[in-house]
């Protein structure tokens, strides 16, 4: 399963109330680095679907959530466990670097 989109309306159910660890990719259509990291996140989502849910939140369409989580540059990825942010990753990175950043949640 590849990363799926979430919105203000679905964020609480998909992220906050999710039993699994969730990585939220904060992105926008116009952001080149966001588009570059998207297929990498889809690959990680497919390979680690048993341990990690990956969702994407468009910051232009959902500005309230972007503000709530203090998103000032994108791509920004936040890892949530039991509704709390436990890790933040800023910027597009190659797959090995992202997997290293997420190793504690993929093991």
The DSSP secondary structure of 10-72, one letter per residue, reads THIIIIIT-SSEEEEEEE-TT-HHHHHHHHHHHHHHHHTTTTEEEEEEETTT-HHHHHHTT--
Point out the catalytic residue in the list 15, 34, 55, 57.
34
34 given a catalytic annotation:
yes
Give the Cα separation of 1 and 66 in Å (integer): 25
10 given a catalytic annotation:
no
What length does the chain have?
107
Point out the catalytic residue in the list 6, 15, 31, 76.
31
Tokens of 95: 């797959």
- Active-site residue numbers? 31, 34
């Amino acid at each position: 399963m590849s990363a799926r989109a979430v919105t203000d309306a679905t964020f609480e159910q998909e992220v906050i109330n999710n039993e699994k660890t969730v990585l939220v990719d904060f992105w926008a259509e116009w952001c080149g680095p966001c588009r570059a990291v998207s297929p990498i996140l889809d690959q990680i989502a497919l390979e680690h679907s048993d341990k990690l849910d990956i969702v994407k939140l468009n910051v232009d369409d959902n500005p309230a959530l972007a503000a709530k989580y203090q998103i000032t540059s994108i791509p920004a990825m936040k890892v949530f466990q039991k509704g709390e942010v436990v890790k933040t990753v800023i910027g597009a990175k190659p797959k090995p670097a992202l997997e290293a950043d997420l190793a504690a949640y993929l093991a």
